[in-house]
Structure formats: structure tokens, C-alpha cells
Structure 1
Amino acid sequence: MTLAEEFRSRNFSIYGQWTGVLCILLCLALGIANIFTLHPLRIVFSVLCLVSAFVIVFIEVPFLLRICPTSSKFDEFIRRFTTNWMRAAMYLVLSAIQWVSLVAGGSSLIVAAVFLLIASCFYALAGLKSQEFVGSKTLGGQGLAQMIV
């Protein structure tokens, strides 16, 4: 299945996964950009944003678990997020953490909070419509992950 066919499938988990990839890029960029501020609380939220990007990259790109040396505890933690509902909950928690960053004042971290919330909504919609989680083959879904083994 090509990328265009994946998007035409109307499976919200595909939309959630690609929004998650966008969240990885945003969390990395905004975390780095905001870490150089003088506000100590904003630095904490910047680090949390960077950690979020690290966790999301392993959740959304499953073949990385096979090629990167990680601990068995970390692998077990990441494998919990295989259903739409668990991913929706995870993105909602990560979004809430970034929304709380408003306590330190308005910053560009709010963009990460919005996109994390959008990803959570996509996964929740997939769960509500009882759509099975389908990983994008481009990101290491069924096809690519099996080729590596």
C-alpha cells in the first residue's frame, strides 16, 4: 500500500501516526529552541518536550526498537502502546504536560501541546470507530519491520 492509499483508507490511526511523526519534529525543534531561555521552569518543560520526542519516536517508528540497543524495561514500556486507546491516552498526557507549560508564560511550546492533542484526537477517533490499529508501512509497519529481521 502506498502512502497515498494509506491516507485514503480513512483509518484514523494512520492519521494519528503521521501526526505523531510531526509531533516528533515539533517537540525536538521547540524543545531545543526553548531550552536556551533564562526562565528555569520553561527549561524544565523544554526538557520534558525533548523526552516526549524521544518516547514518541520509538512508539511511532517500530523498527527502531529492533535496530537500537535499548533495555528490556524500555522495550516493555513502549510495547504497551499498541492500541489506539493507549496511544490516545499517551498523547493526551504528553499534551497536558505541555499545556501546563503556560504556567511559565506563553511560549512556542504551546504548538507542541496543540499537535500532541490533535494526535490524541485521531487515535481516540480510531478507537471510537473501532478501527484496528494499522501502522504505516513507510514508518516500519508490517512490511519494513519484517524485512529487517
Structure 2
Amino acid sequence: MVVMEELKSRNFSLYAQWGGVVSIILLIILGAISFLGNIPFAIIGWIFAFVLVFVEVPLCIKFCPTSPRFDGFVSKFESSYLRGALYLVMAIVMFLSNTIGSATLLNLPAVILLLTSFCYLIAGFKQQPHASSKILGGTGVDNVV
């Protein structure tokens, strides 16, 4: 029921958060699959996934012991515009994985990262307040609508 309410909210930051979660999963799995064929970008994908877990899942930042410096870095991405820029940079880096070899499986997370970037930028242009899914430990749409 919570997911349906979030889908009906038309809040692009919620859509982007779910896109970010899909990106995390794809970066981990497809990075492992393509590890031997494209080692540098597989490792970069895992690093991106690690950072995105703390950016997108509010429960992780509350329960995982992290340094104040890392917490400060993650807190910089509260704005939809900055999150959109972060995802855009990550998408470009993952698209660069094609320059080392032939087309790899890492194009799929790059496309999802790009779509997530667009969702955050749309949320910024529409001046929608940031919301995060209740399932992932956020406030949900109650505080937004």
C-alpha cells in the first residue's frame, strides 16, 4: 500500500530514489559479472554503489558507524539539483566503460543512473520537496503532499 501511495504522489524525488536503489543493485551485480572483463569500472561501480547506499537509504546513515567527514560528504546531497548532478557524473563515468573495451553490461546501470539524474533534475525544476520512501526509512509522502 505504501508503494502505491508513493507512485501516485507524482513526486519525482521519490521516483529518483527508487531509481537509485535499482542502480545500486545493478552496479553491484553487473559489476561482479563484468569484473574480469572490465576490472577498473567494475570497482568504480562498486564504489558508486557504496556511496549511493548512504545517499539514498536514510536508515544506513543512522545505523552504520561512519566518520564525520563521510557524513558531511553525504549531507551535501540533500538538494535535488546536487543529487541530479551526482547521478549525471556517475552515469557519464559508467558510460566511459565502453572506451576500454567493447560494450559491457555496465551500460545498463549507466542508463538507470542517467534516468535517475533526470528525475532529480525534474524534481528540482518543479520545486518539489525532497521525500524518501517509508520502506527505506524515510518520511514518505505524508510530509510532502
Aligned to 1:25: 25
Aligned to 1:60: 56
What amino acid maps onto 2:45 in structure 1? C
Q: Quick check: 1:44 aligned with 2:40?
A: yes
Q: Distance in 1 between matches of 2:40 and 2:66?
A: 25
Q: Quick check: 1:4 aligned with 2:20?
A: no
CA RMSD after TM alignment? 1.2
Aligned to 1:110: 107
Q: Distance in 2 between matches of 1:142 and 1:113?
A: 28
Q: Distance in 2 between matches of 1:129 and 1:138?
A: 24
Shift of 1:36: 2.0
What amino acid maps onto 1:134 in structure 2? A
Secondary structure (helix, strand or coil) at the match of 1:130 reads coil
Q: Quick check: 1:133 aligned with 2:130?
A: yes
4+ residue segments displaced more than 4 Å: none
Structure 2 residues without counterparts, runs of 5 or longer:
141-145
Shift of 1:20: 0.4
Q: Quick check: 1:122 aligned with 2:119?
A: yes
What amino acid maps onto 2:46 in structure 1? L
What amino acid maps onto 2:13 in structure 1? S
TM-score (norm 1): 0.90
Q: Distance in 2 between matches of 1:67 and 1:76?
A: 16
Aligned to 1:93: 89
- The size of the alignment, in residue pairs, is 139
Shift of 1:19: 0.6
Identity of matched residues, %: 42
Pick from 67, 78, 81: which aligns with 1:82? Answer: 78
Structure 1 residues without counterparts, runs of 5 or longer:
144-149
